[in-house]
Amino acid sequence: MRTHRYGSQPAPLLPLALAAVGLLAPRARAADFAGGVRPILAAKCFRCHGPEVQKGRLRLDVKARALRGGLSGPAIVPGRSDESLAYRYVAGLDPDVRMPPSGGPLPAADVAALKAWIDEGAPWPEGLDPPDAAEAPVPWSFEPIRRPAPPEVRSCGWPRGPIDRFVLARLEPAGLDPSPEADRAIWIRRLTLDLHGLLPTPEEVAELLRDDSPDACERLVDRLLASPRHGERWARHWLDVVRFAETHGFEMNQPRESAWPYRDYVICALNEDRPYDRFVQEQLAGDLVGEDAATGFIVGGAWDQVKSPDPGLTAEQRMNELHDMASTTGTAFLGLTVGCARCHHHKFDPVSQRDYYGLQAVFAGVEHGEREVSVPDGAEREARGRALGALEAELARLRADLWKLEPQASLDASSAPSRPPVSPLGNTDRFAAIEARLVRFTVLKTSSLEPCLDELEVFTASDPPRNAALASAGAKARSSSDFPGSPLHKLEHLNDGLYGNGRSWISAEPGRGWVEVELLEPVAIDRVLWARDREGKYQDRLALEYRIEVAREPGAWKVVATSADRLLPGANAAPAPGPASGPAARARELELEVARLRARPKAYAGRFVQPGPTHRLHRGEPAQVREAVAPGAIAALGEPLGLRADAPEGERRMALARWIAHPRNPLAARVISNRLWQHHLGEGIVATPDDFGSNGAPPSNPEFLDWLASELVARGWSLKALHREVVLSSAYRQSSAPRPEAVAVDASSRLLWRFPPRRVEAELIRDCMLQASGALDLRMGGPGFSAFEPNDNYVRVYEPKRAFGPADWRRMVYMTKVRMQQDGTFGAFDCPDAGQACPRRTRSTTALQSLSLFNSAFVLEQARLLAARLEREAGAETRGQVRRAFALLLQRAPDPVEEAAAADLVAAHGLEALCRALFNSSELLFVS
């Protein structure tokens, strides 16, 4: 019998001791419960740990606890004795556990009686639990949301709406008054930094100061929320929460080249004000609702791509992947540390081990990797179509010019070879126009292994020519044999219009094989194009000797070209244009780009397969498999998902998404409302945004949090509506200036007697520097830029760049996020490393931050560019340059002392020195 330890006390594995206290009648009835069954259940118990434990024991004489069970599951499952641990252990059905743990087994009659009682439904009258059996309190966050009425406060003219009444109701008992309203120039700076992550321009500040209309502030907020800059700013907050990165992590840390579509999805969803319940659903089941890239959320975590030959270690790696998916889902959407239930029941919250493995079962069919995704309707699809049309037209013109220079294939065996050698990048076989419906390409010899073709194209002799071999044009492909077991190398890839090794055909015969294309109808053709790998990554498996035959009817083959008139590889063929010459190289670039646009794009958004059964793992160890678990959620939060153990894969994720975002689930709305408040006011109503459980911080104002959550739901889950409510409140518009009497009562400003000032994040520091210098590139979307030197090592080494240029001057949200590595300048400012979810960044102050801001190559370059801008816009007069610098960076004019000191600095050390000084000013680095 195996044993384990809880603390320092050894104990048998879940010892259930149903002692023989009296005999049960063979057919126990409900009326017999109090005098017959209950004494036996009360005599001994499970040993376990979890929120239901009292002094290390699970009370089996308490109905709810016996049905819920302990570490291994429910002791009693009404109607199913085969699933009830109480019966299984005393009946000896589990080889790991002997019950009772000492002495002989229970009499067969007692075992049979217990089985009969359970199979009858375990009739258990209400009201018989002992008086000391009260359940542990449920965490506050599990209680339903109740929309409170805003509190009554004194009539002082300060509250603009419900938010202010909640704030004032906490200030009054503390004897504090709110602070005066901030100057409009300060408020627009605060507002623009919060909603856009950028500075307001001097012109925008001046416009607000001139506008005396009563709705000036409301119109400004609406304009800022409608800008695409808003999604870029708030996407960064969400990407922190979901541990988004564009590398795999672990020791290899190789890039995820197609992870960026998820980042773009988040930006787009926030800009469109996608209802939050829909936002949740798309990230868990976007492939089912037309948002393919959104499921990048599920596989956004680290992935160990080095697999072990040891099955045990491989199983552990897979469990770690599923743990990341389940744990991050719990943190991001529910604010719970559900990952703590991997090895045992949660120590503090009502999350059982079965709940945890139920969540794992939801994601059991999700695998790391990229997949083809659809392009949503709208502007992106239209732009893609326009780009494709323009490239196809350019490619057609280039090909027409190149084909005129291409020598025609010769079948004269007596002539010396003159055509260029075969190239893995691409080859053209031109011949006299001939009507055909069948085209066969036969490989007779290869450079190595089985032959590979990434695409076989057959062009008509018409003007303009067209590729008649495309499957989309009705052509059908056949082959002598196909390489087995590879999703990359299929016959269907021969004529799908896509290039590269990843979409190619390989024969199953070493050194030989043939493919044949049947065109939709007979047509005049005059050339065949083929390649090993137009992307240039592979040169093996190249056809060295081949022949091309055509026929109008099956069997009537005619040879039109062979490799016999081609030079041997390595020989020169002048003056014919080779694949690397100017026009030919451009044509190949266009071919690849056209193929990319024709293809469905790929995103690192996970691959989905129908999973097998999920089991609870004892102590979280893959080798200790216990009972099967159906896909589920957290039982204490409401109705189960109601799924079978073999439910379809997508149905699992969709059910969980609906369960999370259901209005009856109290956590989703509370958690996201708290996050929004946290990023506007510096700290959440719940100071632990990743832990709304018993071990987290209690809400500082629970009624206010419930009001925010209910307001979000009432407004159709619109985050922008909640943003608007917050930033237009009097609480948000307060001055941030300290007041001694208030500091003495509430030094941390938790009661919000003023706007709490805070240092801005790394992204804002960098983006605002670029904005002020005039270098900021506001292009949105697509692959990002890197802060590291190029590197293609198998185990990646990330060396920060030492020089930067315009390609690196986009917003920092588009910087390729490398897991566990920071860029050389701004990484020091508490950027998360994407190793795990980061719902709240730390705020440190270090010498490295000061050195980076004063001496880094990036800051020096931006100071130079800002100085040049000041000279252009303010002329050569120093004090004009100083005033313009203050307006661009601080949104105000310098006072006389500042202006004189700045002018002296410029005179002594140059304009760039002033720019560096302002880049390092606390006024720029703080939102106040």
How many domains, the chain? 3
Q: Is the pLDDT of residue 56 over 50?
A: no
Q: Is the pLDDT of residue 75 over 70?
A: yes
Q: What is the pLDDT of residue 50?
A: 36
Q: pTM surpassing 0.85?
A: no
In sequence order, the β-bridge partners of residue 512 are 509
Q: Is the pLDDT of residue 39 over 70?
A: no
487 within some domain: yes
475 within some domain: yes
Tell me whether the omega of the peptide bond preceding residue 100 falls within 30 degrees of 0, making it cis: yes
What tokens appear for 86 in the block?
């109480």
Identify each DSSP E strand in 614-761 by its residue range: 614-617, 625-629, 758-759
Q: What is the pLDDT of residue 54?
A: 35
733 within some domain: no
Q: Is the pLDDT of residue 1 over 50?
A: no
Ranking 6-20, 408-422, 508-522 by mean pLDDT, the lowest is 6-20
Q: What is the pLDDT of residue 587?
A: 66
124 within some domain: yes
Average pLDDT over residues 539-549: 96
Q: Is the pLDDT of residue 379 over 80?
A: no
Ranking 3-17, 481-495, 661-675 by mean pLDDT, the lowest is 3-17
337 within some domain: no
Q: Which residues contact 827 (CB under 8 A, 6 or more apart)?
A: 762, 821
88 to each of 17, 83, 94, 114, how far by Cα in Å? 12, 7, 6, 10
Three-class secondary structure assignment of 585-624? HHHHHHHHHHHHHHCCCEECCCEECCCCCEEEEHHHCCCC
194 within some domain: no
Q: Is the pLDDT of residue 823 over 50?
A: yes
Which of 116, 135, 154 lies at the terminal end of a domain, its last residue? 135
% of the chain beyond a pLDDT of 70: 87
**199-258 tens-digit pLDDT:** 999 999 999 999 999 999 999 999 999 999 999 999 999 999 999 999 999 999 999 999
Q: Is the pLDDT of residue 44 over 70?
A: no
In sequence order, the β-bridge partners of residue 615 are 628
Average pLDDT over residues 386-410: 76
Model confidence band, residue 380 (pLDDT cutoffs 50, 70, 90): low
- Cβ(817)–Cβ(299) below 8 Å: no
631 within some domain: no
Average pLDDT over residues 368-373: 92
Average pLDDT over residues 837-852: 92
Q: What is the pLDDT of residue 654?
A: 97
| Calpha distance 67→386 (Å, rounded) | 63
Average pLDDT over residues 503-517: 96
- Cβ(518)–Cβ(476) below 8 Å: yes
| Calpha distance 728→731 (Å, rounded) | 8
- 436 half-sphere exposure, CB direction, 13 A CA radius: 31
The region that residue 814 occupies, defined by phi over 0 for left and psi between -120 and 50 for alpha, beta otherwise, is alpha
- When the pLDDT of each residue in the chain is averaged and rounded to a whole number, the result is 87
- Cβ(544)–Cβ(478) below 8 Å: no
Q: Which residues contact 540 (CB under 8 A, 6 or more apart)?
A: 447, 448, 449, 452, 532
Which of 101, 135, 169 lies at the terminal end of a domain, its last residue? 135
What tokens appear for 694 in the block?
């018993």
Q: What is the pLDDT of residue 744?
A: 96
Q: Is the pLDDT of residue 28 over 90?
A: no
Ranking 52-56, 572-576, 900-904 by mean pLDDT, the lowest is 52-56
Model confidence band, residue 88 (pLDDT cutoffs 50, 70, 90): confident
Average pLDDT over residues 328-335: 97
Contacts 24+ apart (CB under 8 A), 880-888: 881/906, 881/911, 881/914, 882/906, 882/914, 885/914, 885/915, 885/918, 886/918, 887/202, 887/205, 888/199, 888/201, 888/202, 888/772
Q: What is the pLDDT of residue 433?
A: 94
Model confidence band, residue 72 (pLDDT cutoffs 50, 70, 90): low
Model confidence band, residue 108 (pLDDT cutoffs 50, 70, 90): confident
Which of 510, 536, 568 lies at the terminal end of a domain, its last residue? 568
In sequence order, the β-bridge partners of residue 408 are 430
567 to each of 239, 420, 570, how far by Cα in Å? 55, 6, 8
Contacts 24+ apart (CB under 8 A), 879-882: 879/903, 881/906, 881/911, 881/914, 882/906, 882/914
| Calpha distance 355→422 (Å, rounded) | 61
In sequence order, the β-bridge partners of residue 70 are 73
Smallest CA-to-CA distance from 780 within 271, 274, 257 is with 271
Q: What is the pLDDT of residue 14?
A: 29
Q: What is the pLDDT of residue 883?
A: 97
- Structural domain range at position 868: 759-927
Q: What is the pLDDT of residue 31?
A: 41
Model confidence band, residue 70 (pLDDT cutoffs 50, 70, 90): low
Question: What is the bridge-based pairing of β-strands 607-608 and 366-367?
Answer: antiparallel
278 within some domain: no
Q: Is 812 helix (H, G, I), strand (E, B) or coil?
A: helix
Helix (H) / strand (E) element for 452: namely strand 452-453
CA 184 from chain centre, in angstroms, equals: 38
Choice between 463 and 466, residue whose per-residue pLDDT is larger: 466
Choice between 380 and 268, residue whose per-residue pLDDT is larger: 268
**866-883 tens-digit pLDDT:** 999 999 999 999 999 999
Smallest CA-to-CA distance from 456 within 409, 497, 402 is with 497
Average pLDDT over residues 410-422: 88
What tokens appear for 905 in the block?
């600095």
